[in-house]
Amino acid sequence: MKQHPVIELKKITRSFTKGGGFLGGPGQRVDVLRNVTLSINSGEVLCLVGESGCGKTTTGKIIAGLLPPSAGQILYSGQELSTMDKVEFSQYRRSVQLIHQDPYAAPNPTHTIYSILSAPMFRHGLVRTRRDAVRRVADLMETVDLTPIGDFIEKYPHQLSGGQRQRVVIARALILQPRLIVADEPVSMLDVSIRLSVISLLRRLQKEMQVAFLFITHDLAMAKHFGIGGRLAVMYIGEVVETGTTEQIINQPMHPYTQALLKAIPEPDPELTRAKEPINLRSLDIPDLADLPPGCTFHPRCPAYLGSRCESTTPRLLTQRDGRQIACLLYEGGKVEAIGRSVL
Ligand code: SF4
């Protein structure tokens, strides 16, 4: 029997209205996502990378059911969300959990860790007595390495460090045994010294529980670390421009934007960083979403710019011989032999 991906996005567009002013004018339509097509299989890790404001968080919110798309289809286990009844939709919402970026804002500051973790258990009928709840909360705290349990269970979030709070947020995301976790920049607000331990915890949980992950980050180095063995998708102002296995993209990026992103990662050895050739972007300015360039939206910055063709033709996300997908005219028109060529 065919195994459906946990989640599929098909040609998702999300628009917002910008402005409109104090007098309530019509405002201007801004498409923050355009034709985004992605899928995540059971137990798979997909890292979504790109510069701030490229639409990664909006994609995560749409996948978690917190934001409806303006157009396109979302399928959970092969079933389109719009065809689900109330019970099916609630099952989907339980199966997809979100870990927010900001551990300082996420847990309710007026509740103890016990209350924060036990409330959803009572609400969803997972426990009936306080005794059961204490036991399950303790199990969860142990799972996320929030130990010794007695030191934390009656504390309030403000009494914890950022890393400890993020462990509470992770524990809360695990309560309903999700099939997919959307982790939106889960360590970007933590001290550098504790980022690695939280990332290692997430990786361990992913492997032990075989839960799928959408790991959203602006930091390709972090994606490289978290996404090994999984897949990676690169976004540029509202569109997916390259997807492939993490190894393919890290070792041999093909889209000029992905190549530029990878060149910008500093090496641990400062000598290697100094020896790197500079990225010859045509412009450092990111286009305004409300006034996107025609054709390929990367053309005003692209170091591999092909001339007027890039300004008049919108590249399609095409599957290449090695299974990766690229949206760039360099690889269209049967030019699959272009695989392996580096344009920087
Ligand atoms: Fe660069 Fe043209 Fe490819 Fe766009 S289509 S990434 S401008 S070469």
Of 254, 296, 308, best ligand 1 pocket probe by most atoms within 8 Å of the beta carbon: 296
Quote the ligand 1 centre to 309 CA distance (angstroms).
9
pLDDT of 25 reads: 64
Bond before 270 cis per omega within 30 degrees: no
Torsion angle of C-alpha atoms 134, 137, 141, 144, degrees rounded to 10: 160
310 close to 329: Cβ distance less than 8 angstroms: yes
- Does any ligand 1 atom lie closer than 6 A to the CB of residue 298? yes
Quote the pLDDT of residue 23: 57
pLDDT in tens, 320-342: 989 999 999 999 864 443 333 33
**pLDDT at residue 22, as a whole number:** 58
Reported as half-sphere exposure (CB side, CA atoms, 13 A), residue 271 has a value of 0
CA–centroid distance, 70 to ligand 1, in Å, is 27
pTM: 0.90
Residue ranges of E strands in the chain: 7-18, 28-40, 45-49, 71-76, 79-80, 96-99, 180-184, 212-217, 231-236, 239-245, 318-319, 325-326
Q: Which residues contact 237 (CB under 8 A, 6 or more apart)?
A: 53, 54, 55, 286, 287, 289, 292, 297
- The stretch 234-248 carries a mean pLDDT of 96
Cβ-based neighbours of 20, under 8 Å, separated by 6 or more: 26, 27
Output the CA 252–ligand 1 centroid distance in Å: 17
Report whether residue 315 contacts ligand 1, using a CB cutoff of 6 Å.
yes
Distance from residue 314's CA to the centre of ligand 1 (Å): 9
CATH number of 1-109+177-251: 3.40.50.300
Q: What is the pLDDT of residue 266?
A: 73
3-class DSSP state for residue 78?
A: coil
d(CA 110, CA 142): 23
DSSP state of 287: P
Pairing of strands 180-184, 71-76: unpaired
| Ligand 1 mutation pick, 280, 305, 311, 316, max ligand atoms within 8 A of CB | 305
Look over the chain and give the mean of its residue pLDDT values, rounded to a whole number. Answer: 89
CA nearest neighbour of 50 among 230, 223, 187, 254:
223
Q: What angle do CA 209, 213, 214 make, to 5 degrees?
A: 170
At residue 233, the 3 state secondary structure works out as: strand
In this prediction, residue 124 has a pLDDT band, given cuts at 50, 70 and 90, of very high
Q: In this model, does residue 57 exceed pLDDT 60?
A: yes
Cite the residue boundaries of each domain of the chain with CATH code 3.40.50.300.
Answer: 1-109+177-251
H or E element in which residue 253 lies: none
- pLDDT over 50 (residue 182): yes
List the beta bridge partners of residue 233.
48, 243
* 190 pLDDT higher than 90: no
Task: Tell me, using a 6 A CB cutoff, whether residue 331 lines ligand 1.
Answer: no
pLDDT of residue 21 exceeding 60: no
Is residue 103's pLDDT more than 80? no
